[in-house]
Structure 1
């Protein structure tokens, strides 16, 4: 396509990650199987050189141009992931210009040196719904699949997680995470541009695995549930958040084309159906802990995400339906244990 360029992981992405300390983060991994995988990661990332994205050089340059502002305080237990320091007005304006260059910001919010990044999703509301129900994260190895820019991964560290890996193939999301990590400093968290199928085969290393907003994007949802199970140690906890519909066991919505203007939505099950899928995949102690209708309080356009959002995806005459005439988004949180 016009405007696209080849990008070289070794010269660009990997060098940027090395500057931000990913090798030390991997070396500190408490799991032998993941430490062994870390030795292969450089070549695995090198294999991504065939990917193209015309905006990668711009995003890379933004992260590299961020000012060196030492954080005085980092707060990971508040609705906004907050980084405070002694930034002048001029530095703050420069920082804002750079971070706005990483538009659109989908997950957040963040507050960086007095700059409020008002993301499309109020991701703190989802965290507020699930945190009281999950196993305490203190001292746990955590995987966040489809993590976006890592907002929830930061909250996991704030909750005491020992080591957090976020994976998301979207390079813009990874660039946003690298920008936040540059400002926050070294914490036991990293986001890599990988899919779950690029992790070691059956790593079985994680105490908790999160999959939030991913299942309905998978063409084979049961395969995804099995992949998640294989990442967990025996007795580890799955935190699964996804779109659902009302209905009995066996009922599944399969959109003919788009759902809420999204093309890549394949299966939206009822809660009893999803519970059956989890059982079929071998999970135990399955619990439905929350079902919430998504509203414009939680997902909307902002100055940091200026494209269409939820309000434009609903029928203006009937907010209980999408513009395609399908049930409006409702999201469920299931917890389950690996056998």
Structure 2
């Protein structure tokens, strides 16, 4: 099984500050290809080859992710595209607009981007890493800022396939998704900006994770960290007994003050809490593109300020820091 996507990436970084990554990355991805792939992987790969070639008359990334107008294609092609995109459900991060087709994802990820964007350094001409990038929605929004390169790292094979399905409509050589976890990243110390949005609370060792993020940044580079938090002082860190909002893999939810202290201890400077916002039922919800349970099912039906387990409802914060 051959994946030209990865070879394109190797060529892209060969003469960049990331060139030393080539010492380990090809072997890692070769190992990934030889490992146990998802049961639907061969089907997803076949589906990618079935997407019709279309003429994309517009590319919009500033205010939304939109490739092509409905008028670019006929009704038959539109139905064909809907059928193909639906084969890659569930769609969690978005939304995407492809030739008039609205992939209405579980998350309004554009709302998160609107909260983050005003506070970050310009991405123009920068090398950008998005750790835990999902299907790549925020990477496309980053691309609107004219970076040199945007790299996403996420081990989910479905997210890789969703990203490649979308990228067929804008094969920009500056954006790539690699199916690897942060623990597989060497200490590159080469990215100008590193994003980590919605990952920290899934890590059993959050301090190690912060060190891993720091080791990807060049000196003076910027970390953009978005995560679940709780109210409290520098010593407040919450760990659920079992599930949190029905999620099994939630470990530590610090207060913003505790998280600031963590970042200081790890060696970051100029740390700012730039946004704190509760997750609303309009921002995360069930749609025809994600039909299983969503936030409304995870909150106490009598009191939406609590999860179904009785914990404080999701509160998310954005922190910016420098290496």
TM-score (norm 1): 0.91
Alignment match, 1:23: 7
For the 8 Å contact 1:141–1:162, the answer to whether it is kept is yes
Which ranges of structure 2 fall in alignment gaps of 5 or more residues?
none
Alignment match, 1:89: 75
1:142 to 128, 148, 151: 128
Alignment match, 2:90: 104
Question: What value does the CA root-mean-square deviation take over the aligned residues?
Answer: 1.4
Counterpart secondary structure, 2:208: helix
Give the Å deviation of 1:61: 1.3
- The reply to whether residue 185 of structure 1 matches residue 156 of structure 2 is no
**CA separation of 1:153/1:282 partners in 2, compared to 1, >3 Å: closer, same or farther?**
same
Distance 1:34 1:208 in 2: 13
Alignment match, 1:311: 296
CA deviations 1:44-81 (Å, max 9, x no partner) are: 212122223111112111112111113221111123x1
CA deviations 1:82-113 (Å, max 9, x no partner) are: 00052111111001100000000000000001
Give the Å deviation of 1:196: 1.1
Alignment match, 2:275: 290
Alignment of 1:1-339 (within 5 A): 11=1, 15=2, 17-18=3-4, 21-29=5-13, 32=16, 34-38=18-22, 40-48=24-32, 49-79=34-64, 81-84=65-68, 86-199=72-185, 201-338=186-323
For the 8 Å contact 2:127–2:149, the answer to whether it is kept is yes
Give the Å deviation of 1:316: 0.4
**CA separation of 1:140/1:266 partners in 2, compared to 1, >3 Å: closer, same or farther?**
same
For the 8 Å contact 2:21–2:188, the answer to whether it is kept is no
For the 8 Å contact 2:126–2:192, the answer to whether it is kept is yes
Distance 1:189 1:275 in 2: 31
Counterpart secondary structure, 1:28: helix
For the 8 Å contact 1:260–1:322, the answer to whether it is kept is yes
Higher deviation after alignment, 82-91 or 112-121: 82-91
CA deviations 1:246-302 (Å, max 9, x no partner) are: 011111110110000000000000111000000000000000000000001110000
Distance 2:35 2:124 in 1: 39
Alignment match, 1:7: none
For the 8 Å contact 1:120–1:309, the answer to whether it is kept is yes
